[in-house]
Amino acid sequence: MIKKIFFWGCVLIGYTVFGQDIVKKEVLKQEVDTLHFQPGNFTTVRQISVRIGAGLQNDFYSEVGAALHTCRYGDTGYFSKTYYAALEWMPDQNNDIYGIKIGYETSALLLITGLEIKYQTDFKINDIVITPKIGLGIFGDANIFYGYNISTNNTPFSRITNHQFSIVFNLNKHFLRYP
């Protein structure tokens, strides 16, 4: 039963991220093609990014997924927001822990905040975790976070603590190269 939930969760994430036309292709192409700074104006870039990350929540974990990343910049600074879905994996000799998560991050200048909801399982025990995050980031492309895991099942995995430190990259055509 849990394997079926995990499988259909992956299918739902894939459909949500890749199956819908969130931003019309013509508008996206026009915005990407007109990347230039105009004083007093903001330029917006929207793009789908590959999301990769790694971190510690007592033990090492990694994540991979997709994100809809928007960056606005102008003469007063930059702002970004990211909606994402990712798969998480915590390796172990005896019992790996897998997770499916969705989240939102927003940044202004260097400060970045976020919130994610994650379903974790080792196919014997499962848990839903809510993680508010705060950190530092550059354009929302490269981010370092501290998160606080709030378990809904009394923290059933001893290898996962409340404190989470992570580094995440949203890789796209304009990675760390906004005017």
Distance CA 133, CA 112 (A): 8
Joined tokens for residue 14: 């894939």
Mean pLDDT of 78-98: 91
pLDDT band of 85, cuts 50, 70, 90: very high
Q: pLDDT tens across 31-75, in order?
A: 544 454 445 566 777 889 999 999 998 899 999 999 998 888 777
Residues 55, 79 contacting (CB under 8 angstroms): no
Joined tokens for residue 137: 């980031």
